[in-house]
Amino acid sequence: MFVLAALVGRRSGPAWRCPRRPAALVGAALASTLGLAGCSTGFGAQTTELYTAPDGTDVRDGDVEALNVLIVANDAGSGTLVAALVNQTEQSDRLESVSATDPDLGPGAGTITVADVSPPLDLPPTTLVQLADPAVAAEIGPVVLEGDTVDAGQTLQVTLTFAKAAPVVAEVPVVPRAEPYESVPTPADTGGRGAGGG
């Protein structure tokens, strides 16, 4: 009996102490996990912030970056080029011309004419210039493309040629004239300037 009491006494002392240590470790691990998980929740968490991708194409390599390049459909067979041009250099440059083709058709098929960029559009150093800006459209006229394949839902290959920088080539979508592109200038908005308008 004495031996049994000694064994029970031994077990009861350490048996009560041992479960406390693992329980404390489990509790600490659980608390730190919940604390770390809480870092990515709340009103400022990245998962609660919306990101709206642009409709157009971005070309970020080269001395002049072309951002959100797209064509807004005007009437059937006509569209206005929209692009934010960023001169990344410390020297002025100029947009001298724009050309376009339909990549789904063979060379020479589906002719697309583009309004002359006249006068050439100045691109100051480290500055963004938006082709759809009404002030820019008033200066050079909207850059209008005309052709059978210039219609909402199509994709065209557009080449922007500069005085100093390498040309920018991008496949860009033709989007309908709807929000947020309803106010993009047309030749009618600028007194007929643009392709076919002089």
156 vs 76, more confident: 156
pLDDT digits (tens, 9 = 90+) for 84-142: 999 999 999 999 999 998 887 766 666 688 877 878 999 999 999 999 898 888 888 88
Ordered alpha helix ranges (H), the chain: 2-17, 20-37, 134-140
Q: Write down the number of H helices and E strands in the chain.
A: 3, 10
Query: 57-190 in CATH: which number?
Result: 2.60.40.1890
Model's pTM, two decimal places? 0.70
The whole-angstrom distance between residue 194's C-alpha and the CA centroid of its chain comes to 27
DSSP state letters, 127-141 = -EEETT-HHHHHHH-
Q: By C-alpha distance, which of 80, 156, 168, 158 is closest to 123? A: 168
Residue 159 in this model has a pLDDT that exceeds 70: yes
Phi, psi values for residue 93, rounded to 5°: -140, 180
